[in-house]
Amino acid sequence: MSHAPAALETTATGIDNRKLLMWLFLASETLLFGSLIAAYLLYRGQSVVGPYPEELFDIPFTSVSAFVLLMSSVTMVLALAAIQRGDQRGLRIWLFTTALLGMLFISGQAFEFTEFNREGLSLSSNLFGTTFFVLTGFHGAHVTVGVLVLLSLLVMALRGRLTRSQSMNVELVGLYWHFVDVVWIAIFTLVYLIQP
């Protein structure tokens, strides 16, 4: 998150440079996840050998982790609301909670991956393994990056270097975080709940 020099001047459209950059990035990310989801849908139910998704998926477990990520979006936006009214304590609490929920989600995914692996699913075992691990892996990588950035923000906040005037930093990270969350909303439905 760079401190763009343009923040010194207002822009021709009145839109913040960095916010526009983030939205452009997210718009292009729709094509990235679109491509990954398309590959999953193309090969849905096409695996010639097992293990198959219906044997592996643990819907209650995944529902909990989907819920965790969803709630992290709520805490993220509360962190933004906190910094916008200058509530430093609230900012720290909600940033911390969001990062924690994010880490919880990642741990859940790590557990799920190892569990599936133990039951014989790997990147090379069949089309399901290939498309599932790559799609959810890409998403997990995005969450991981988000957690790292959230922790960086938290450190800045704890050292008093994230003031009300820098709320844009939190807003930008928030946009990224919510986007990663909505991608999971799509994955949770298309991959887990709708089975062939």
Partner 1 sequence: MTLAESRGIKRPPEHEADARQAGGRAHPGPLEYTRIGLILAVITAVEVGAFYMDIAQWALVSILVVLSAVKFSLVVMWFMHLRFDSRLFSGLLVGGLMLAAALFVVVLSTLGGGLT
Partner 2 sequence: MVEAMRKLRADAESYQGWWSWLTTVDHKRIGVMYGVTAFSFFLLGGVEALLIRLQLSTSNGQVLDPDAYNRLFTMHGTTMIFLVVMPLSAAFFNLLIPLLIGARDVAFPRLNAFSFWVFLAGGLFMNASFFTGGIFQGKLGAPDAGWFGYAPLSLVSTGQGIDFWAFGLLILGIASMAAGFNFIVTIFNMRAPGMTLLRMPVFVWMTLVTSFLIIFAMPIITVALFELLFDRLYGANFFNMAAGGKPLLWQHMFWLFGHPEVYILILPAMGIVSEVLPTFSRKPLFGYQFVIFSGLAIAFMSWGVWAHHMYTTGLGTIANSAFAVSTMLIAVPTGIKIFSWIATLWGGSINLKTPLYFSVGFISMFVIGGLTGVMHTVVPSDYQQQDTYFVVAHFHQVLFGGAMFGLFAGIYYWFPKFTGRLLHEGWGKLHFWLMFIGFNLTFQPMMILGLLGMPRRIYSYGSGTGWDFLNMLATAGAFLIGLSILVFMINVVVSLRRKERAGADPWDGRTLEWSLPSPVPPYNFAEIPTVRARDDFWHQKYAEDEEGRPVPIVAGGAYQAEEEEGEEEAETGHGIHMPSPSFWPLIAAIGLPIMAAGFIYQESANLLPMIAIGAVITIVGIYGWALEPASE
Q: Which residues bind partner 1 (CB under 8 A)?
A: 8-10, 12-16, 19-20, 23-24, 26-31, 33-35, 37-38, 41-44, 46, 59-60, 63, 66-67, 70-71, 73-74, 76-78, 80-82, 84, 164-165, 167-168, 174-175, 178-179, 181-182, 185-186, 188-190, 193-194, 196
Give the integer Cα–Cα distance in Å for 33 and 181: 12
Instruction: Closer to partner 2 by CB, 29 or 87: give it.
Output: 29
| Residue 20 CB, nearest approach to partner 1 (Å) | 7
Q: Is the dihedral of CA 155, 158, 159, 160 positive or negative?
A: positive
> Residue 130 touches which of partner 1, partner 2, none (CB < 5 to 8 A by kind)?
partner 2
CA proximity to 102, closest of 61, 139, 157: 139
| Residue 92 CB, nearest approach to partner 1 (Å) | 15
| Residue 42 CB, nearest approach to partner 2 (Å) | 6
Give the integer Cα–Cα distance in Å for 170 and 84: 9
> Residue 21 touches which of partner 2, partner 1, none (CB < 5 to 8 A by kind)?
partner 2
**Site residues (CB under 8 A) for partner 2?**
1-6, 8, 11-13, 15, 17, 20-21, 24-25, 27-29, 31-32, 35-36, 39, 42-43, 46-49, 123-124, 126-127, 129-131, 134, 138, 152
Q: Could you give the C-alpha distances from 38 to 24, 90, 130, 185, in angstroms and in order?
A: 21, 40, 13, 16
Give the integer Cα–Cα distance in Å for 119 and 91: 42
Give the integer Cα–Cα distance in Å for 69 and 171: 18
Phi and psi, residue 35, nearest 5°: -65, -40
| Residue 34 CB, nearest approach to partner 2 (Å) | 8
